């Protein structure tokens, strides 16, 4: 077998993504034939003995993809001497092939809960995590009181954080009652019924981003639950439970899809590059078609958009009264 860079071998073996594998090597946690490895070092995985934290790395092990409903208070890291429980302690051994070491795909804050993916497929994890693939993450946010119009507008405009402008992927929306009840049925402990629930989506992945954004408008988050990663949903998976991902879910996330447009709102569709309008022979934009379309130089009938119910930004009433209406 030809030699490969150590970080690529680790990623192919399912230890971590290639970028995370570089960190493992740089921090001295990887050894090749008993010696500390260096970033970029080339090895033959069939002839060399490779260890991470003293454990041997297997080549060609079976791939595993697991969805976990992480409880609050559990750390997302695989090893933490200060943590009583890590996410690996929650995954049943029946879901993990023999000899397989799972790693979380990204993290959830210790105080946050909800959907967390684990795998031993480093390349797949990289496609889920890397910003260029634009995989969306949707969250249910519970607040002690409804947002005001000014607070909603501030969030939708973006909040200045240390890393830059923190932005939501589309307008924040209030969660309808059925959506909130379905989620509450999966949560342990059960949420306080007086909380006001909202849904937000992110493409950015800064540390404690949502908590800092809501904190900047003097509205601390009481419960933060991740309900979707790309096309994979938390669904009825209860707190602390895990399941194997289905083949279509694995394929869709590995392709870097953004997820359901209906769940993330129109903003997710708008993030793609606009398609250029087809041109006529004279270089002018084409009309809307011959049947029922407008002719060049003539104005078609004016469309009148129906006015929907007021949003939080338009009305002094609490946001929860408007169902799933996007908050402007």
User: For residue 313, what are the β-bridge partners?
Assistant: none
**Long-range residue pairs from 313-321, CB within 8 A, at least 24 positions apart, any chain:** 313/149, 313/152, 313/153, 313/156, 314/149, 315/149, 316/149, 318/146, 318/196, 319/146, 319/147, 319/152, 319/174, 319/196, 319/198, 320/146, 320/174, 320/196, 320/197
- Determine the Cα–Cα distance for residues 66 and 10; give it in Å rounded to an integer: 20
Distance in angstroms (rounded) separating the CA atoms of residues 260 and 252: 11
Token representation of residue 222: 């009481």
Q: How far apart are CA 124 and CA 256, in angstroms?
A: 9
Helix count and strand count (H, E) for the chain: 9, 17
Q: Which listed residue (80, 109, 150, 236) is catalytic?
A: 109
Q: Which two tokens stand for residue 210?
A: 């949502």
Active site residue 109: yes
Q: Which residue has the tokens 């998976």?
A: 237
Task: Tell me the pairing of strands 196-202 and 221-229.
Answer: unpaired
In angstroms, the CA 119 to CA 283 distance is 51
Burial label for 328, CB within 10 Å (0-12, 13-18, 19+), is middle
- Locate 237 and state its tokens: 């998976």
Q: CA-to-CA distance for 143 and 243, rounded, in angstroms? A: 29
**What is the C-alpha separation between 214 and 217, in angstroms, rounded?**
5
DSSP structure class, residue 183: H
Catalytic residues: 109
């Amino acid at each position: 077998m030809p030699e490969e860079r150590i970080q690529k071998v680790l990623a192919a073996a399912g230890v971590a993504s290639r970028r995370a594998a570089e960190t493992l090597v740089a921090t001295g946690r990887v050894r090749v034939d008993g010696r500390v490895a260096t970033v970029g070092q080339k090895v033959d995985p069939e002839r060399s003995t490779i260890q991470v934290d003293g454990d041997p790395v297997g080549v060609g092990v079976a791939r595993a993809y697991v969805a976990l409903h992480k409880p609050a208070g559990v750390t997302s890291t695989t090893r933490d001497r200060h943590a009583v429980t890590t996410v690996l302690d929650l995954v049943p051994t029946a879901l993990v092939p023999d000899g397989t070491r799972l790693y979380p795909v990204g993290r959830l804050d210790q105080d946050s809960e909800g959907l967390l993916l684990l795998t031993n497929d480093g390349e797949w994890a990289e496609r889920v995590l890397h910003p260029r693939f634009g995989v969306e993450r949707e969250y249910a946010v519970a607040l002690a009181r409804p947002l005001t119009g000014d607070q909603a507008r501030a969030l939708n405009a973006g909040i200045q954080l240390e890393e830059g402008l923190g932005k939501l992927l589309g307008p924040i929306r209030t969660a309808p009652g059925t959506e909130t009840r379905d989620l509450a049925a999966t949560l342990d402990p059960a949420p306080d019924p007086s909380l006001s629930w909202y849904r937000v989506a992110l493409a950015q992945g800064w540390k404690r981003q949502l908590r800092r954004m809501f904190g900047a408008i003097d509205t601390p988050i009481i419960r933060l639950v991740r309900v979707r990663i790309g096309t994979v949903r938390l669904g009825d998976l209860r707190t602390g439970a895990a399941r194997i991902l289905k083949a279509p879910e694995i394929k869709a996330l590995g392709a870097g899809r953004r997820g359901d447009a209906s769940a993330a709102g129109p903003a997710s569709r708008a993030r793609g590059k606009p398609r250029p309008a087809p041109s006529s022979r004279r270089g002018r934009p084409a009309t809307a078609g011959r049947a029922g379309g407008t002719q060049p130089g003539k104005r078609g009938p004016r469309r009148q958009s129906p006015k929907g119910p007021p949003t939080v930004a338009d009305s002094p009433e609490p946001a929860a009264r408007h169902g799933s209406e996007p908050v402007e």
